[in-house]
Amino acid sequence: MKKKMFIPFSVPYIGREEIDSVVDTLKSGWLTTGPKTKQFEADFASYIGCRHAIAVNSCTAALHLAMDAVGVGRGDIVLTTPMTFAATAEVIEYMGARPVFVDIDPGTLNMSPVLLEERLRSMTPEERKTAKAVIPVHMAGQPCDMDAITGIAANYGMKVVEDAAHTMPARYKGRMIGSISPITCFSFYPTKCITSAEGGMLTTDDDGYAERIRIMSLHGISKGAWNRYSKEGSWHYEVLQPGFKYNLPDVLSAIGISQLKRSESLRDIRMKHAEVYSHAFRDMPGIELPEILSDIEHSWHLYIIKLNLEMLSIDRDGFIEELRSRGVFASVHFIPLHLHPYYRGKYGYAPSDFPRAESQYKRMLSLPFYPKMTDEELDYVIEAVREVLDGNYVKQGAAGGVRATGCNLAA
């Protein structure tokens, strides 16, 4: 291996425009939700092609507001995937509802629509009545099978709330993610496709949802600060319901506005990086490449490889440690939710309850992957992966003998 480098898992892309716009906002005298946030929302809605975009301070907040807007309540069921971050299911718990997990398609890691339907069929009629919503998660930036999920949701009278934390931008059969379901929730956390440091956005075409979300995102009051303290505003407001404090400040929206303009160019760079990785890994039999569907446009938020563990004398954790000792910092997305103490304890889940999520989890890792990566850094990661594999094949001479499958980057 060449001279040791340090390759972090993720580095945000922050340019001159982001820095200047934050400074301008700080100098403007208006720091919290105001004109910049209004502009961010308008730009986002026009980019997605939806009636409303509502900025909030995280995707978690967006998902929580979405659960409230579609009417999820105490004792209800919301179906989602175990292969996701804590946020997706915790918002269901916030409502006093029950997250019911549906296992994944092992190739894409997205919720399996076939298993979604099976799970609904297996419910008693009483349970089925309480199934209010489904939250598909577009893993790593690859859209779920939205036609299938939308159809099943309609048949069972459920609302679809998309967790699009990983997608920006992405399309499903030509349609922009954010314009398909009743509500879609985006994340602008620093590791995500675009960032505002912290932040999130809800998109919807439904005027009623939009109104409810706006009110609940700011204490359930009738008017935000901009409507009270700006020149056009008046001091009076009313509390309509106890809401939340989820508004996105202008200082952060300023970053978001600049990042949104870069959304496609950043995605294009990530896609090129993915091509470089996949081209190099194609001839490494210890690795299975990401499976890419043909009727979607991928955001390439994460580059996830799966280890063919039966060929290796090392497990996934050991593999990550070996990369780390070479200065390459990988991660895992995600530890399936049913393996965590809270969900195990509350609902009595065993690891084998979602065997696909469990088996993919044991073999997958996310490599460093971000637009700022240089060719040299990509090569360094590739060589580190090759070196760890070569040192850990079970049988001598296995390298080069088997081709990995499932990659179609052109799609």
Q: How far apart are CA 321 and CA 308, in angstroms?
A: 17
203 touching ligand PLP, by CB under 6 A: no
Task: Please identify, using beta-carbon distances, which residue of 150 and 187 lies nearer to ligand PLP.
Answer: 187
328 close to 395: Cβ distance less than 8 angstroms: no
Residue 304 main-chain phi, psi, to 5 deg: -105, 125
Local structure of residue 245 (DSSP, 8 states): B
**Least Cβ distance, residue 60 to ligand PLP (angstroms):** 3
187 touching ligand PLP, by CB under 6 A: yes
How many residues bind to ligand PLP according to rule CB under 6 A? 14
Cis upstream peptide for 244 (omega within 30°): no
Strand-pairing partners, residue 158, are none
**CA-angle at 201, arms to 164 and 237, nearest 5°:** 150
Is 192 considered catalytic here? yes
**Least Cβ distance, residue 144 to ligand PLP (angstroms):** 12
Which residue from 7, 115, 165, 365 is in contact with ligand PLP, where contact means CB under 6 A? 165
**Least Cβ distance, residue 197 to ligand PLP (angstroms):** 10
**Least Cβ distance, residue 94 to ligand PLP (angstroms):** 13
**Least Cβ distance, residue 106 to ligand PLP (angstroms):** 18
Structure tokens at 401: 């003998």
Work out the burial of residue 359: count CB atoms within 10 Å of its CB; fewer than 13 is exposed, 13-18 middle, 19 or more buried: middle
143 close to 136: Cβ distance less than 8 angstroms: no
**Least Cβ distance, residue 239 to ligand PLP (angstroms):** 26
- What residues contact 109, with CB distance under 8 A and at least 6 apart? 83, 139, 140, 304, 360, 364
Give the DSSP H or E segment for 61.
helix 59-69
Task: Please identify, using beta-carbon distances, which residue of 60 and 108 lies nearer to ligand PLP.
Answer: 60
142 touching ligand PLP, by CB under 6 A: no
Task: Please identify, using beta-carbon distances, which residue of 59 and 274 lies nearer to ligand PLP.
Answer: 59
Tell me the CA distances in angstroms from 50 to 95, 220, 307, 358, one per residue in order. 27, 24, 40, 36
Fill in the amino acid letter for 359.
Answer: S
Start-to-end CA distance of the chain, whole Å, equals: 33
Residues 48-67 that bind ligand PLP (CB under 6 A): 58-60
Task: Please identify, using beta-carbon distances, which residue of 200 and 224 lies nearer to ligand PLP.
Answer: 200
40 touching ligand PLP, by CB under 6 A: no
Q: How far apart are CA 155 and CA 116, in angstroms?
A: 12
Q: How far apart are CA 262 and CA 256, in angstroms?
A: 10
Stretch that binds ligand PLP, among 158-166, 341-349, 364-372, 391-399 (CB under 6 A): 158-166
Place of tokens 């009738």: 222
Site string for ligand PLP, 120-139 (x = CB under 6 A): -----------------x--
Which residue from 141, 200, 256, 285 is in contact with ligand PLP, where contact means CB under 6 A? 200
**Least Cβ distance, residue 217 to ligand PLP (angstroms):** 14
Structure tokens at 10: 């993720």
Task: Please identify, using beta-carbon distances, which residue of 93 and 315 lies nearer to ligand PLP.
Answer: 93
**Least Cβ distance, residue 301 to ligand PLP (angstroms):** 9
Q: Are strands 159-164 and 77-80 parallel, antiparallel or unpaired?
A: unpaired
Q: How far apart are CA 117 and CA 105, in angstroms?
A: 13
Task: Please identify, using beta-carbon distances, which residue of 45 and 59 lies nearer to ligand PLP.
Answer: 59
Task: Please identify, using beta-carbon distances, which residue of 109 and 323 lies nearer to ligand PLP.
Answer: 109
Residues 80-109 that bind ligand PLP (CB under 6 A): 84-85, 87-88
Q: Choosing from 192, 245, 272, 306, which is the catalytic residue?
A: 192
DSSP 108-159: T-SBPHHHHHHHHHTS-HHHHHHEEEEE-B-GGGPPP-HHHHHHHHHHTT-E
Which residue from 68, 105, 145, 163 is in contact with ligand PLP, where contact means CB under 6 A? 163
Task: Please identify, using beta-carbon distances, which residue of 25 and 57 lies nearer to ligand PLP.
Answer: 57
Q: What is the set of active-site residues?
A: 192
**Chain residues in the site for ligand PLP (CB under 6 A):** 58-60, 84-85, 87-88, 137, 163, 165-166, 187, 189, 200
